Amino acid sequence: MNLRAILCALVLALACGRPESPGGPKSAGSGAGSSGSASMAKLMKDRNLSEADVTAALKTYTPSGRKDEFLVFASGGHSGQLLVIGVPSMRILKYVAVFTPEPWQGYGVGDKGSAEVLKEGSRHGKPITWGDMHHPALSETKGEYDGEFVFVNDKANPRIAVINLKDFVTEQIVESKLIEADHGGAFVTPNTEYVIETSQYAAPLGGAYADLKEYNEKYRGAMTFWHFDRAKRRIIPDESFAIEFPPYMQDLADSGKLTSDGWAFCNSINTERATGGVLEGNPPLESGASQNDMDYLHVVNWRKAAEVAKTKAKVIAGMRVIPLQVAIDEGLLFFVPEPKSPHGLDVTPDGEDLVVGGKLDTHATVFNFKKIQGLIAAKKFEAKDPYGVPILPFAESIRGQVELGLGPLHTAFDGDGNAYTSLFIETKVAKWNVKDLKLIEKISTQYNIGHLVAAEGDTVAPKGKYLIAMNKWALDRFNPVGPLLPQNFQLIDLSGDANGGKMQVLYDLPIGLGEPHNAQMIRADKIKPWNIYKPVGLDAVTKEKSPFAVEGGKERVERKGNVVDVYMTAIRSHFTPDVVRVKEGDKVRIHLTNLEQAHDATHGFALNSYNINASLEPGKHTELEFTADRAGVFPMYCTEFCSALHLEMAGYFLVEPKKK
Ligand code: RUQ
Ligand code: CUA
């Protein structure tokens, strides 16, 4: 579109008026039109905007009250939280508390339910107060997002969390005691039977000690299949299993689908098994780990493994583990050489091909699942790795390679047979055709793109339209905020209209809380969250009515010995009781129910000096437990501006000193 066309379109839009636009009479006639275009031109000049800028603005600007077409669930990196972002507006809607306390949501600041979830995520009993979130995975049904749950991993302390999209609340964290770091997770199987978590840095399984001299013999990797029970909304560790891997660094994983359903895949690096130790006379880890021209793509028959795990697994650190030799004997694990230090691994929407990006290679390599299966069936192995895992011939496993540029990492797909691969070193996105392996075009991003996410791009039915480049340090993109740089999410238009069929960057969204890695983008109408908690007294973690839910009129304080139970309600604009008297040293349990059922009637509950802030959405019940170990007068008040008398929604918590 040229400038005239844009202006005409804009004027037309103004002239027609929008039914949802609030306020203002509908303008009509040429008079309004010409003054509109004149002021547009002036605005563009004043703000130094090009035609492309205006197109981008028109494609992303979302008037107040208008909703987004897609939602993105993005890793919040080191913050340990999950970001929810609307597309195309790129408005941030929520930071969901997952691995770290979050005061607004009352997560880990006094509330017993969330404290228990965080406690599940402690490491060998030690509380972990951060996370290194990499890969969110939305739950799937028949390979399509169903909008019910999202799973995320923590690379540093290998954990998987389950977030319920009915209320965007983290309900469970499972800790893997088997491995010491993960990366190939969270990825789900097409019906979310399993959430895959693959180790990254090899270590003795189960947290044992062995010196690095014994690396080859005692260090191992593993791919864990956490069984998800949808009806129970939980991962069931006892119904989960893992497969022991050689001590390579396993990297990204993906689950097969359609043609390749029942199989899972992961990359590996460091098949050299370098261990570093520069002061001990060894080459540095990164050069030791970059000697081989090929590493190994791991091909795993998880459906068969689930059967084998029933009889032939041994339990390590509470997890059923299929020993490597059993995996080899049963035909559960095969390797295919893959070019130098690969990173991303993405299964195509039809499940036929696997795209692998080699960081130190200029190609994306397209492995073909049927070819791999043919070789396995014919037992056509070219060699075995040092642990006896059969290796399939590379040339006969691939459909081809496509030269893309420097540092190909991750690949996303649209619905028209195109793939989009991030080029980390070139800091570009390469668009190419999966069928004929032809590069179509490249677009620059700012800067150092890692993952990219396309609308439902890793399901069996990608939607195309939008892509987000998840770039690392944003250098010169935003106002400087000190040496630690924000990351940059760039929204890219894939539709090609208005840009000669080419991709166009529409929007830069700085991410200011940690390095996000991956994200998933889902059609917004698939997410159907609750507006309120119903019935009144619902517990957000158990999703059941709390046995301690308090009814209006039944508020009371009960004392048994030194245990004080406070049955409290919140409703605009008071807590009942609003005065609580206890004695120093008492164990206090506040059972607190928000009686409201109106959509916008959230209250908070802050208690001075006791590190407590609860979030009480309409109908929610919260349990607060603490020891009143400090005598004094402590105001308690509502932390959400809930009504005209919000400031008066307060009371006193009196702790009478012990008699000396
Ligand atoms: S990573 S930038 Cu998925 Cu953890 Cu590739
Ligand atoms: Cu309730 Cu403010």
Least distant ligand from the CA of 342: 1
In whole angstroms, give the CA distance from residue 37 to residue 40: 5
Identify the CA nearest to 317 among candidates 210, 198, 177.
Answer: 177
- Interval between CA 326 and ligand 1 midpoint (Å): 31
Q: What is the mean pLDDT of residues 520-543?
A: 98
Least distant ligand from the CA of 571: 2
- The predicted pLDDT at position 361 comes to 86
In whole angstroms, give the CA distance from residue 512 to residue 534: 35
Q: Is 646 in the pocket of ligand 2 (CB under 6 A)?
A: yes
- The predicted pLDDT at position 658 comes to 93
pLDDT at 2 > cutoff 60? no
> Atom of ligand 1 at shortest distance to CA of 451?
2
Q: Is 443 in the pocket of ligand 1 (CB under 6 A)?
A: no
Q: What is the mean pLDDT of residues 578-598?
A: 98
Within 8 A by CB and 6+ apart from 7, the residues are: 36, 37, 40, 41
Burial class (CB in 10 A: 0-12, 13-18, 19+), 620: buried
- Interval between CA 410 and ligand 1 midpoint (Å): 8
Q: Is 518 in the pocket of ligand 1 (CB under 6 A)?
A: yes
Q: Is 404 in the pocket of ligand 2 (CB under 6 A)?
A: no
**Which range (414-423, 489-498, 607-616) has the least confidence?**
489-498
To the nearest whole percent, how much of the chain has pLDDT over 90?
90
**What tokens does 580 get?**
């609580």
Q: Is 504 in the pocket of ligand 1 (CB under 6 A)?
A: no
Count of residues making up the chain = 660
Q: Is 603 in the pocket of ligand 2 (CB under 6 A)?
A: yes
Least distant ligand from the CA of 601: 2
Contact at 8 Å (CB) between 234 and 541?
Answer: no
- The predicted pLDDT at position 37 comes to 81
Ligand 2, atom 1, lies closest to the CA of 603
Pick 408 or 25 by higher pLDDT.
408
Q: Is 472 in the pocket of ligand 1 (CB under 6 A)?
A: no
Q: Is 574 in the pocket of ligand 2 (CB under 6 A)?
A: no
Q: What is the mean pLDDT of residues 86-106?
A: 97
To the nearest whole percent, how much of the chain has pLDDT over 70?
95
- The predicted pLDDT at position 496 comes to 85
Q: Is 614 in the pocket of ligand 2 (CB under 6 A)?
A: no
Q: Is 252 in the pocket of ligand 1 (CB under 6 A)?
A: yes
- The pTM for the full model equals 0.94
> Atom of ligand 1 at shortest distance to CA of 344?
5
pLDDT at 499 > cutoff 80? no
Q: What is the mean pLDDT of residues 92-111?
A: 97
DSSP letter for each residue of 69-97? SEEEEEE-GGG--EEEEEETT--EEEEE-
164 beta partners: 149, 169
